[in-house]
Amino acid sequence: MGKLREFLGRRYTGWGALALAAVAGAAFRYAAMDHLSPREFSYFIDSCIRFRYAEMRMLGQEPPRIDPQAQWPEGFPAHRMILTVPDRTAALFYKLHRGDTYFAARAVVNALSAAAVVAFVALALAALRRPWPAAGATLLYAAIFGGYSRSWSNFLREDFAMPGLLVATAATLYLLTSSGGRRRWLVAAAAAAAVATLWAGSCWHMSQFYLAVLGLFVVGYGVAGRAGRAALAGAGLWLGLSLAAVLNEPLWAKGAFWNVSVALAAAPVAAWGLSRALKKPDKAGWFVAAAAVAFVALSLAFGRSPGYGHVYELVWAKITHFGRLPGPAALSPDARFFWVGPYKSPAPIIVFFEYGPLLLAAAFGLGLWWYNLARRRPSGGAFVALAVPVFAVLYLLMVRLTIFLAPWVAILCIYPVAALGRAKARAAYGAGLALLLALHVYTANVKRQPRWYRGAVNAVFRYEPELPWYYGSERIQLLFWLADRPWPSPVLADFSLSPPYLYLAGQPTALNPMFEVPEVRRKALTYAEAAIADEETFYDLCRRWGIKYVVHVAPQVLSRGAGSFYNATARAPGPGSAAALMQFHPEKLRRFRLVFETYNVRVFEVGKPYDGYASTAYHPLYDPTRFPDVPADEESKEFYRDLRRVNYYYELGCSQYEMGYYVGAAAALNSALRLHPDFEDANLKLGEAQLALGRYEDARRAFDRALVATPGDPRPREYLRAVAAAEESTD
C-alpha cells in the first residue's frame, strides 16, 4: 500500500501542481486585468473604431457594410476590414452579462486573457516535456506584464486570438518534435492545430504574421528530415488557414501575408505526397524545400493584396535602418505612416518595463538551451531556441507582436530549473528567479512604480517621451464640446484622434486608423499635404469632404515627431500654410474661424472668417511671443519634456485620488503645480483632495488659483461654494 501511494504521489503530484498553476495563473491574470484596467471608457485609436461595431452587435444592431461615419463622406468598407468573430463573441458574452456594454467588453477581454494562461499550459508541456517545469513556466507567463500590457483599456483582437495561437503552436511543436506516441494523439494534435488556427485567424488578421512563422518552422523541420511529421503539422495549419479565409471576407481583402502562411503550411503536405507518389521518401526534404520556394513565390507574385503593400515596405525599411527611425524623406509614405502609427518600434525602456529583470533569466536560459543543443540534447529545444530570436526580431519590427514574446520568455526563464544538473544549482537559480519575478510584478504597475526606480531606468535608457497631445482634462472638454454640436458635424483631425471623436462625441470623422485600407493611407497623406499648403487649397479639400470642423493640435506644427505634418509629408509647414496660420495667426484666416481652444488643441469652423475669439485661459503653445514660429527641435523637446513631467504628476495625483489616497494625491498634484502654477486642472483636483482631507483653507487657495487662471470657467466658483458649505456644516 505504501509503495502504491508513493507511485501515485510521484506520478500525479506534478500533474496536480500543473493544474493548480493553471488555475492560479488564470485567476491572477484575470484579477490583474480587472484591477488595473480603468473604470471608464478609454479605448484608443483603432480599438475605439472596432469596439463600436462590437457594441452594435451587443445591442442587437447589424453594423453597416459601408460606414460613412467612420470615413466621411465616402464610407468605410467595414465588411472587408472588420473580422466579426470577436464582435459576435462579445455580443454573446453581453447576453450573459447584460447591463453596460463597456463592462461586458472588459469582462470578455479579461476572461480571454486568463484563458491564454490555460492555453499556455499545452505549449509549456510541449516545450519542457515535464509537468513541474511547465507549472513554473505557467505561473511566470501569467505574471509577465508584456503578455497583457496592450490589453489595458483596449478592445484588442489579439486577446481573442491568443489562446488559439498558443494551442496551434503547442500542437505544431508536439507534431514536429515528439519521437513516438500513438497515431491517435498525432491526429488529435493536427486537429487541434486546425481548429485553433481557424479560431485565431477568424479573430485577428495579424495572426497571419505569427502563423507565417509557424509555417516557416514546419518547412524547416521538413527539410531537416522530418518530412512526414511536417506534412501532418502543415496539414493542420493549412486546413485552419484555408477555412478561416473562406469564412472571413476581410482575410481575402487584406491577406498578402495570409497567402504566404498558406503556402508555407501547404508546401510540406504537397512535397510529402509527391515523394510518396514517386516512391522517393528519402528525397522528401528536397521536395519540401523546392515546394516552399515555389509556393511562396507564387503567393507573392499573384496574391499581393493592395491592403498589405505597406507591410513589405515597412519591414524592409526597418531592417535597412536597423529599427531606428530615419528622417521622413528616407521613407515611402506607406512606411512613414505605419512607423509612427500602429507598428512603431518599441523604445528599449518599454521593453524593460514590459519584461524587466526577467530578461536576464531568459537570456541565461536561451544560452543554456543552445549549449545543450550543441551537446545533442534536443527535444522541443531546437524549436524554442530558434523561435525566440525570430519572435524577438518580430517584436522589434512590429510592436503589435509584443504579446508573442511573453510565452518564450516564461519558458526560457524556467528552463534552467529543469536543465541544471545539480540540486543546489537549481535551488539557487530558482531562488534568484523568484526574486526577479517579485521585482517584476512590483514594478510592472506603472502607476505605483517607486520614483527612484523609474528615475534609475530612465537614466540608463535615456528615454525620450512622446509629446502629450492632450494635457490634463482637455480631451474630455473637447469631446463634450464636439458632442454639443448639431449632428452631423463632420470632423477632420489626425487619424489617431478621430476614433474617440466618432464614438465618444458621436460626430462623423474623415479619417480612421485602419491603414490596411490603401484609400485611408492616401487620404491621410492628402490631408497632411493640403494642411501645409495655402489656406485656399486646404479649404477646397474641406469643402470636397464636407467637413464642418477642423481639429488642429499644436504638436502637428511645433514638433517633428510622430503625428506631425513634417513627419507625414517630409516637409515643414511654411509661414503662409494653413497649418501655420492656425497655429500662429488665426486672425489672418478667412476660411476658418477659431471657435474653441484648450492647452494643445484648437478647433476651427470651416467656411467662416476669424471673429475675434479669445480663450478664457493662457495657453503658452499658442502664445505668439513665446512661439512666434516653428521652434528648433531641441527647444520643442525641452518644452514638452517639462509639460510631460507636469502631466505625469497630474495623472498620478488623479489616480491616487480615485483610489482614496488623498495625501498622496495632494503631494503629486503639488509637484505638478511647482512646475506649472497656473495649471487649472491640477488646482481643481488638489482642491478636491484637500477638501476630502478637511483642509478647507488649503482647498480654498487651490480653487482661488484655478479661478485666477481661468476666470470664465464656472467650476472654481462651484467648488468654492462647496468649501463654504463644508465649513458651515462643521461649525
**Could you read off the pLDDT of 176-208 as tens digits, one per residue?**
887 766 778 888 999 999 999 999 999 988 888
Structure confidence at residue 169 as a pLDDT band (50, 70, 90): very high
Residue 543 pLDDT class (50, 70, 90 cuts): very high
User: What integer pLDDT is reported at residue 8 of this predicted model?
Assistant: 46
What single-letter amino acid sits at 481? W
How does the average pLDDT of the chain come out, rounded? Answer: 85
Question: Cell numbers of 479, please?
Answer: 469631446
pLDDT at residue 165, as a whole number: 95
Confidence label for 461 from pLDDT (cuts 50, 70 and 90): confident
* Identity of the highest mean pLDDT range in 66-75, 311-320, 360-369, 699-708: 66-75
pLDDT for the residue numbered 168: 96
Contact assessment for residue 532 and residue 590, using Cβ atoms and an 8 Å cutoff: no
682: in domain:
yes
CA trace torsion 406, 407, 413, 416 (10° rounding): -160
Q: What is the pLDDT of residues 571-624, one digit of tens each?
A: 989 989 999 999 999 999 999 999 999 888 999 999 999 998 888 777 878 888
Residue 602's beta-bridge partner residues?
552, 597
Q: What is the DSSP string of 334-373?
A: HHHHHHHTTTPPPPHHHHHHHHTTHHHHHHHHHHHHHHHH
Q: Quick check: 641 pLDDT over 80?
A: no
Output 104 or 516, whichever has higher pLDDT: 104
| Confidence label for 265 from pLDDT (cuts 50, 70 and 90) | very high
What does the radius of gyration of the chain's CA atoms come to, in whole angstroms? 28
Given a cut of 50, whether residue 126 has pLDDT beyond it is: yes
My answer on whether 625 and 505 are in the same domain is: yes
Number of domains in the chain: 3
506 in the same domain as 579: yes
* Cis check: omega of the bond before 73, within 30 degrees of 0: yes
The range of the structural domain enclosing residue 51 comes to 1-67+78-128
Give the CATH number, domain containing residue 675.
Answer: 1.25.40.10
Residue 599 amino acid letter: Y
Residue 251, domain member (yes or no):
no
The size of the chain, in residues, is 731
* Domain end residue (candidates: 582, 604, 631): 631
Using pLDDT thresholds of 50, 70 and 90, give the confidence band for residue 414. Answer: very high
Position 536 scores a pLDDT of: 96
Q: What is the CATH number of the domain that holds 604?
A: 3.40.50.12610
Whether 22 maps to a domain, the answer reads: yes
Determine the pLDDT at residue 281: 83
List, in sequence order, every residue forming a beta bridge with 128; answer none if it has no partner. none
Amino acid letter, 460: V
In this structure, what C-alpha cell is assigned to residue 618? 493662457
620 and 478 belong to one structural domain: yes
Residue 382 predicted with pLDDT over 90: no
pLDDT of residue 308 exceeding 70: no
40: which 3 cell numbers?
471608464
Q: Does residue 160 have a pLDDT over 90? A: yes
Final residue before a domain boundary, out of 631, 659, 677: 631
CA-nearest of 134, 167, 113 to 14 is 134
More confident residue, 599 or 710: 599
pLDDT band at residue 726 using 50, 70 and 90 as cut-offs: confident
pLDDT above 90: residue 122: yes
In this structure, the answer to whether residues 542 and 624 fall within a common structural domain is: yes
Establish whether the linkage from the previous residue to 631 is cis, with ω within 30° of 0: no
C-alpha cell at 676: 506649472
Residue 651's contacts (CB-CB under 8 Å, 6 or more residues apart) are none
Phi, psi at 105, each rounded to 5°: -65, -45
Sign of CA dihedral 44, 47, 53, 54: negative
Matching residue, cell 476660411: 591
* Shared domain check, 645 and 549: no
Triad 600, 606, 609: Cα angle to 5°: 90
Provide the pLDDT for residue 23.
96
CA distance 164 to 120: 10
β-pairing verdict for 66-67 and 76-77: antiparallel
Same-domain status, 610 and 499 = yes
Say yes or no: 539 and 510 in one domain.
Answer: yes
105 lies in a domain? yes
The DSSP bridge partners found for residue 66 are 77
What pLDDT is attached to residue 180?
A: 65
- More confident of the two residues 383 and 75: 75
333-340 vs 309-320: helix axis angle to the nearest 10? 80
Q: In sequence order, which ranges of 445-564 are alpha helices (DSSP H)?
A: 451-461, 474-483, 498-503, 518-531, 535-545, 555-558
pLDDT band of 303, cuts 50, 70, 90: low
Is residue 452 in some structural domain?
no
Of the ranges 137-146, 181-190, 280-289, the best mean pLDDT one: 137-146
Neighbouring C-beta atoms of residue 727, cutoff 10 Å: 14
Residue 305 has pLDDT above 90, yes or no: no
For the record, the C-alpha cell of 35 comes out as: 484591477
Cell readout for 345 is 518600434
- 602 in the same domain as 518: yes
According to DSSP, residue 694 is labeled: T
Shared-domain flag, residues 607 and 724? no
- Whether residue 660 contacts residue 683, with contact meaning beta carbons closer than 8 Å, is answered with no
693 shares a domain with 573: no
Q: Which of 150-154, 405-409, 442-446 shows the highest mean pLDDT?
A: 405-409
Q: How much is the pLDDT for 111?
A: 92
pLDDT of 256 > 80? The answer is: no
DSSP notation for 543-595? HHHT-SEEEEETHHHH-SSTT-HHHHHSSPPPTTSHHHHHHH-GGG-SSEEEE
CA atoms within 13 A on the CB side of 552: 28
Residues 541 and 507 in one domain: yes
- The answer, yes or no, to whether residue 381 has pLDDT greater than 90, is no
Q: Which of 36-45, 167-176, 491-500 has the lowest mean pLDDT?
A: 36-45
For cell 498622496, the residue is: 664
Cα–Cα distance, 507 to 490 (Å, whole number):
6
Is the predicted pLDDT of residue 379 greater than 60, yes or no?
no
Q: Is the pLDDT of residue 531 over 90?
A: yes
Give pLDDT tens digits for 220-241: 888 888 888 899 999 999 999 9
Do 720 and 606 lie in one domain? The reply is no
* 217-254 burial code (b ≥16 CB/10 A, e <16): bbbbbbbeebbbbbbbbbbbbbbbbbbbbeebbbbebb
Please give the Cα distance from 444 to 357 (Å, whole number): 11
The span from the CA of 259 to the CA of 267, in Å, is 12
517 within a domain of the structure (yes/no): yes
Q: Is residue 652 part of a domain?
A: yes
Band the pLDDT of 445: cuts 50, 70, 90.
Answer: low
Last-in-domain residue among 574, 607, 631: 631
Distance CA(558)–CA(572), nearest Å, equals: 10
Least trusted range by pLDDT, from 37-46, 247-256, 353-362, 605-614: 37-46
Give the rounded percent of residues in the chain with a pLDDT score beyond 70. Answer: 92
Q: Which of 403, 401, 396, 404 is nearest to 325 (CA)?
A: 396
Which residue did the predictor score with more confidence, 149 or 268?
A: 268
Chain mean position to CA 222:
34
Does residue 208 form part of some domain?
no
CB atoms within 10 A of CB 585: 14
Distance CA 258, CA 242 (A): 9
Tens of pLDDT, residue by residue over 467-516, are: 677 877 788 889 999 999 999 999 999 988 899 999 989 999 999 888 77
User: pTM for this structure?
Assistant: 0.86
Residue with C-alpha cell 466658483?
717
Q: Let me know: does 135 contact 20? Beta carbons within 8 Å.
A: yes
Grid coordinates 483596449 are at which residue?
154
User: Between β-strands 549-553 and 491-492, what pairing exists: parallel, antiparallel or unpaired?
Assistant: parallel
